[in-house]
Structure 1
């Protein structure tokens, strides 16, 4: 696992064996952050990483200057590892051991970017519920973006706020945003 860009570019991180995870590949992660780079300036963005696993995505955001970052995972070993790396690298990451849906129910904060990487083995309805709950609980800033990583067998493009999808290898990323008002769309086309 490698940090691709930012302050700790090129740094390798070695999670302990036996964590119940499937980390996003470096190739997929690089492609994902290239997309995000076109939408955001990372410095100071508030991030929520759901089903955080090894913290792979959280560390990438932290290396690029995002702060604060909240990483949520139900596995004690994953949360412990994220806390350890955050401490070593002085990353502003709060790792929380929680079921994602319970966390979203309690959460009062809003975030610029919400990334979710549920286990691919979860059913379609669970993936849909992650997206729907984020919007229902108003966890995303109005100009923010939610990204959910999934396999080709999961279809999310029918959900409200779906914006676009990218695929890299066996991973798919579905992006969700609030619809821009006509006024904002006009400004965007004037800038082009």
Structure 2
């Protein structure tokens, strides 16, 4: 696993093997960030990384100049790895929060310019995730959200849906709050 672009581009991340995660592959992440870079830069953006796991996406966002990143996960060891790595790299824009993401969404008060969610592929609430986040007011006007999901799983219809890009077994569905 590596950071693809920006200030830390090329840096390898080596999380512990025992974390309960399925990190986004480097190939899929590179394709995702190529798409996102064409839509606009991350500088000065407030970002949210849901189901953060290893912080793979959080570190990519920090490397590309995001102003703030909130990494939310339920697993303490994942958050500890993110904190330790951010400290080692002297990244102060990543803040971690230990929470059940579904409960976090239901009580969220903040809004973000960019939201990335990479839930467990068997999460029962996955098809409704985009609408729950948008209905809670978490995505700022003009903001973009990406949800990673299995290519075989259909997401619920949303008036903010833009497109889905498929990368083997994984797909990214894009949403924009207008």
Partner of 1:115, secondary structure, is strand
> Would the aligned equivalents of 2:165 and 2:172 in 1 still touch at CA under 8 Å?
yes
Alignment of 1:180-191 (within 5 A): none
Instruction: Report Cα offsets for 1:48-89 as digits up to 9, x if no partner.
Output: 000000000000000001021000000111011111111111
> Would the aligned equivalents of 1:51 and 1:118 in 2 still touch at CA under 8 Å?
yes
Partner of 1:69, secondary structure, is strand
Distance in 2 separating the partners of 1:81 and 1:158: 35
Alignment of 1:73-88 (within 5 A): 73-88=73-88
Alignment correspondent of 1:37: 37
Alignment correspondent of 1:100: 101
Partner of 1:28, secondary structure, is helix
> Would the aligned equivalents of 1:7 and 1:63 in 2 still touch at CA under 8 Å?
yes
> Would the aligned equivalents of 1:147 and 1:175 in 2 still touch at CA under 8 Å?
yes
Q: Mind listing any 5+ residue stretches in structure 2 that lack a counterpart?
A: none
> Would the aligned equivalents of 1:52 and 1:73 in 2 still touch at CA under 8 Å?
yes
Distance in 2 separating the partners of 1:79 and 1:129: 25
**Number of residue pairs matched?**
177
> Would the aligned equivalents of 2:151 and 2:168 in 1 still touch at CA under 8 Å?
no
Alignment correspondent of 1:119: 120
Higher strand share: 2
Distance in 1 separating the partners of 2:57 and 2:149: 15
Most deviating of 109-118 and 151-160: 151-160
Distance in 2 separating the partners of 1:90 and 1:129: 36
Instruction: Report Cα offsets for 1:87-139 as digits up to 9, x if no partner.
Output: 1112210111100122123321110110000011223xx11332122111100
> Would the aligned equivalents of 1:4 and 1:30 in 2 still touch at CA under 8 Å?
yes
Alignment correspondent of 1:167: 166
Distance in 1 separating the partners of 2:175 and 2:36: 12
1:48 aligns with 2:48: yes
Partner of 2:88, secondary structure, is helix
Give RMSD over aligned pairs: 1.2
> Would the aligned equivalents of 1:48 and 1:111 in 2 still touch at CA under 8 Å?
yes
